Structure 1
Amino acid sequence: MRHLLVRLATVLAGVTVLAAPTAASVNLDVAGFGPAHHALAGHGVGYNINGYNWGGYAATGSGFTSVSATWTTPSATCNSRSDLYAPWVGLDGYGSSSVEQTGVATDCSSGRAVNEPWYEMYPAAPVYLSTSSYPVAAGNVIHASVTYAGGSSFTLTLTNQSRGWTYTTTKSLSGARRSSAEVIIESPPGRYPNFGTISFTGSTVNGSSLSSFNPVALDPSNGVYEAHTGALSGGNFSITYQHE
């Protein structure tokens, strides 16, 4: 596994770091996929609420115990070596300073799109799985879930249904509020590869369809809207690339 500092030193070269609003500064040793940055701007014409570094849907409230979703890994085209993004599911992070999350990152730092499964108990650094043991390719169907296991523990599960592997881990995080549940795409540096359209299906929160929680719809924007989140039907929705 490459150290995150090496990864982000390449990704963030010449790019303004998108810090979480609750952090006084960004430490590259722990920076990664993290809480939503709540931008002051509201809606763009034809767009949803500006999620800054998040796109997708976030359910808000209290007592969230689980979130899950399925998606097909897009074939992404890198615009530059700075591009980095990930679809993921998680608890917390929308209005709180911790996130319990898992998904698949697409990293362009090598000059081509490399898909890397990971999990993160933010503010700890993300943990990337071995791509030889847990490979992900364009077209692979991914199912991800995060479940509250009691106390300060959470179980994170990532399954590649196309390749037939599953990774599960249970980790502890003190202070987690369980005040939101999300199905999200995120680019920490605010630079997306062209992923076309990614469709999430069967998204659930606490065992019920995502739509039953009236979640907030978010579009990522770093000066321009980088992607657009479509309408939610039950647990199904799509996000379409707009700009890097």
Structure 2
Amino acid sequence: MRRFLSRVVPVAVAAAALAAPALPATAAAAPELSFRPLHYNINGYNWGGYAATGSGFTSVAATWTEANATCNSTNDLYAPWVGIDGYGSSTVEQTGVATDCSSGSPVHQAWYEMYPANPVYLSRSSYPVSAGDHITASVTYAGSSKYTLKLTDSSRGWTYTTSKTLSSQRASAEVIIESPTGAYPNFGTLNFTSATVNGSSLGSFGPVALDPSNGAYEARTGALGSGGTSFSETYLRE
């Protein structure tokens, strides 16, 4: 089983890792880009954030400000995202923004994924994202295996919404940062706010707290605040 290290407050657990989005390989401002291959970080421990577990999850949402990341190496990449499933299940419905350092500089790109289908990347010209942008993401179950995925960049004035169908368990809901290579760029501190699950605070579900590690902790997940709707992710090392 592919696993990542998790830190419950106060008990540690382990669970299955999720395939993260493949990310753009170059920083060229072109309409079509090549992407890194989709893959698991098998030795993983690559999630940071919170995962609510149980059954019957119908929605998850959160807001963050896109971090001004500094690349340590061309292997660095990570993505903040929200999703349903993925924690111990074989499917996931997720959307967020990826930051890729393969060009030597951070490149931001919006995406969504209905795993096991391949991720879908939004055009950088139609849906641009830069450091400092205010991002809101949500995934909502609409019944009959249908999901609505929505991503808004209020700084740029765009919203992308899509509806997809996938048979899934709906056994978890997550607000996460993830690096499929296990190598984070230096994103400083990223703050998630307005984090809700099923229309209630994320904290009301007693979620599992996760710290990414690749031999040593790479980031630290802060305690839930603001009535269980906000928390920070603080970079520690690549």
TM-score range, shorter chain: 0.7 to 0.9
Structure 1 position 215, deviation (Å) = 0.3
Equivalent position of 1:2 in the other structure? 33
Q: Percent identity?
A: 72
What residue in structure 2 maps to residue 240 of structure 1? 234
What TM-score does the superposition give when structure 2 sets the normalisation length?
0.83
> Are positions 1:183 and 2:175 aligned together?
yes
What is the Cα deviation at residue 3 of structure 1? 4.5
State the secondary structure of the residue aligned to 2:203. Answer: helix
Quick one: which of 119, 122, 142 aligns to 1:149?
A: 142
Per-residue Cα deviation, 1:118-177 (whole angstroms, up to 9, x for no partner):
000111111110011001111100000000011111100000011110000001112x10
1:11-31 deviations in whole A, cap 9, x for unaligned?
A: x9xxxx5139xxxxxxxxxxx
Partner Cα distance (1:187, 1:158) in 2: 20
Confirm or deny that 1:120 pairs with 2:143.
no
Residue 18 (str. 1) matches residue 11 (str. 2): no
SS in 1 for 2:214: coil
Say which of 125, 137, 160 aligns to 1:167.
Answer: 160
Q: Which amino acid aligns with 2:181?
A: P
Which residue of structure 1 lines up, in the alignment, with residue 49 of structure 2? 56
Q: How far apart in 2 are the matches of 1:103 and 1:109?
A: 19
Secondary structure class of the residue paired with 1:101: strand
Q: Any idea what SS the aligned residue of 2:132 has?
A: coil
Deviations 1:80-124 (A, max 9, x none): 111110000000011111110000000111110000000001111
C-alpha distance in 2 between matches for 1:237 and 1:213: 15
Classify the secondary structure of the residue corresponding to 1:220.
coil
Q: TM-score, normalised by structure 1?
A: 0.81
1:98 to 91, 115, 127: 91
**Residue 208 of structure 2 is aligned with which of 203, 216, 225?**
216
CA RMSD of aligned residues (A): 1.5
One of 66, 69, 75 as aligned partner of 1:73: 66
Does residue 1:82 correspond to 2:69, yes or no?
A: no
Which residue in 2 is equivalent to 1:205?
197
Q: How far, CA to CA, are the matches of 1:181 and 1:83 in structure 2? A: 26
The structure 2 residue matched to 1:108, chosen from 101, 112, 118, is: 101
1:34 counterpart residue number: none
Read off the aligned partner of 1:236 and give its amino acid letter: S
> Residues of 1 paired with 2:41 and 2:96: CA distance?
20
SS at match of 2:211: strand
- Structure 2 unpaired stretches of 5+: 1-31
> Which 4+ residue blocks in structure 1 deviate beyond 6 angstroms?
none
CA distance in 1, matches of 2:109, 2:133: 12
**Which amino acid in structure 1 is aligned with residue 205 of structure 2?**
F
Count of paired positions: 205
Q: Which amino acid is 1:60 matched to?
A: T
Q: What is the SS of the residue equivalent to 1:212?
A: helix
CA separation in 2, counterparts of 1:3 and 1:107? Answer: 12
The CA deviation at 1:8 is 3.5
